[in-house]
Structure 1
Amino acid sequence: MSDEDLSELTGYEPNQIQRQLRWLKENGVAFTLRRDGRPRTTWGAYERAMTNAGVASSEPNFDALLARATKHQAHG
């Protein structure tokens, strides 16, 4: 993820490193620090954090679907 992407994602300019770090931590996005102290992350890390937070999920809850189907079959 580029510095520009990170800035757009967090809402903080590239020179606002501490605010970007806080945003990443608060939102559970895994990152490392570059030698210059700036955070570095990937789109995959962002997507995993958002999926784990329940913000985005492209996979259905198969357990709920199975339970509903089983319940429906039991009642006729």
Structure 2
Amino acid sequence: MATILNEMLTEQQLIELTGYTKASAQIKQLKLQGIHYHLRSDGKPVVTWTAVNYPFTHRAVANDNVPNFGAISNG
């Protein structure tokens, strides 16, 4: 299963995912969906199945806004 998740989407699958054939429109849609992508040298986006199945918008984010109670001294 890990090999499937790391496979890249075909151009047709990317069109089906985004609804667009033009690279700039695909990139805009990927950003809206929170899906990570890389750009090829010709400007077209490349996306793995891992990025589709686990977009940034659904990943757990560490909560760094927790106070550091260890920094409080008693004296």
Q: Secondary structure at the match of 1:25?
A: helix
C-alpha separation in 2, matches of 1:51 and 1:21:
16
Deviation above 4 Å: which 4+ runs of structure 1?
A: none
Looking at secondary structure, tell me which structure has more helix per residue.
Answer: 1
Compute the RMSD of aligned alpha carbons.
Answer: 1.8
Equivalenced residue count is 51
Runs (5+) with no aligned partner, structure 2: 1-8, 60-75
- TM-score, structure 1 normalization: 0.61
What amino acid is aligned across from residue 58 of structure 2 in structure 1? Answer: N
Runs (5+) with no aligned partner, structure 1: 54-76
C-alpha separation in 2, matches of 1:33 and 1:6:
13
- TM-score, structure 2 normalization: 0.62
